[in-house]
Amino acid sequence: MRRPVIAGNWKMYKTLAETRAFFQAFLPLVAGTKHCDIVVAPPYTALTAAAESTRGSGVAIAAQDLHWAVEGAFTGEISARMIAEAGCRGVVVGHSERRQYFGETDESVLRKTRAALEAGLQPIVCVGETLVEREGNLAESVLKRQFEDGLAALTPPEFSRILLAYEPVWAIGTGRTATPEQAAEAHGHLRAMAAARFGPEQASSLRILYGGSVKPENIRGLMAQAEIDGALVGGASLDPKSFAAIVNY
């Protein structure tokens, strides 16, 4: 039985004051929540405040990206060790907005995933096809490339520590959600790839989250699919009531 995970990705939203106000409103709404892991990924500047606000609550904090080096002359970048020190337990890697706007590649995803694992962080590795790729019947082959080039080189113990997020690019921030069946089908392909590379046992314990316009209104339908182990939520994670409604689906 895979434990569900509901994760929020705040992208470039929320100041320190807004972060503290969010958790003040959010934590009481999930104080009794036992059925899933809860993760929130604020911007870098709010990580420490978020970690302090959630201490003892069971809500885990994650960063939204990292650099693969331990340290060095990489102006503007943040290492896994810095993220862990800020109080994070995880980090999002390979989000489609990083791939689309900041030149993230499958190769850099692999390097970042390894760096996160080395620092004791849980990577939430994002994969997903664009609309043009889906319409060209290329969704499965894109996922295969992202999996093979971005993850297949991990060792089995490394792979056992990651979370995978299927985020079709056409559904992110567009209000257009994949149907539960479309998402479950893609998750099934990813799980089959994991089984082929790491064996059936590891594949069956891999948690795969769906991301793309998840809202309080559609989370139940998505979570009813056996293949869907949780959600990575962007826009709807910014409001404490809406994110709590998703967590408490």
> Applying CB under 6 A, which of residues 180, 216, 235, 240 lies at the interface with ligand PEP?
235
By CB under 6 A, residue 108 contacts ligand PEP: no
> Applying CB under 6 A, which of residues 168, 180, 212, 216 lies at the interface with ligand PEP?
212
By CB under 6 A, residue 150 contacts ligand PEP: no
Which part of the chain contacts ligand PEP (CB under 6 A), choosing from 51-59, 181-189, 192-200, 234-242? 234-242
Return the number of the residue (121 or 203) whose C-beta is nearest ligand PEP.
121
Which part of the chain contacts ligand PEP (CB under 6 A), choosing from 30-38, 44-52, 190-198, 233-241? 233-241
By CB under 6 A, residue 47 contacts ligand PEP: no
Instruction: Please tell me which residue in 104, 133, 167, 227 is annotated as part of the active site.
Output: 167
Count CA within 13 A, CB hemisphere, residue 67. 12
Do 14 and 46 meet the contact criterion of CB atoms below 8 Å apart? yes
By CB under 6 A, residue 58 contacts ligand PEP: no
Cα–Cα distance for residue pair 188/147, rounded to 1 Å: 13
Which part of the chain contacts ligand PEP (CB under 6 A), choosing from 55-63, 102-110, 193-201, 205-213? 205-213
Structure token pair of residue 121: 């962080």
95 is an active site residue: yes
Distances (CA, A) of 185 to 10, 22, 86, 129, 235: 27, 34, 37, 13, 24
By CB under 6 A, residue 172 contacts ligand PEP: yes
Cα–Cα distance for residue pair 3/11, rounded to 1 Å: 25
Structure token pair of residue 30: 């999930």
By CB under 6 A, residue 214 contacts ligand PEP: yes
In the chain, beta strands by DSSP E? 5-9, 37-41, 59-63, 90-93, 122-127, 163-166, 208-211, 230-233
By CB under 6 A, residue 9 contacts ligand PEP: yes
Could you tell me if residue 212 is left (phi over 0), alpha (psi between -120 and 50 degrees) or otherwise beta? left
> Applying CB under 6 A, which of residues 136, 156, 173, 200 lies at the interface with ligand PEP?
173
First-residue to last-residue Cα distance in the chain: 18
Return the number of the residue (9 or 19) whose C-beta is nearest ligand PEP.
9
By CB under 6 A, residue 234 contacts ligand PEP: yes
Considering the complex, what minimum distance in angstroms separates the CB of residue 71 from ligand PEP? 28
Structure token pair of residue 124: 């939430």
Widest Cα–Cα separation across the chain: 47
167 is an active site residue: yes
Which residues are designated catalytic? 95, 167
Q: Which residues bind ligand PEP (CB under 6 A)?
A: 9, 11, 167, 172-173, 211-214, 232-236
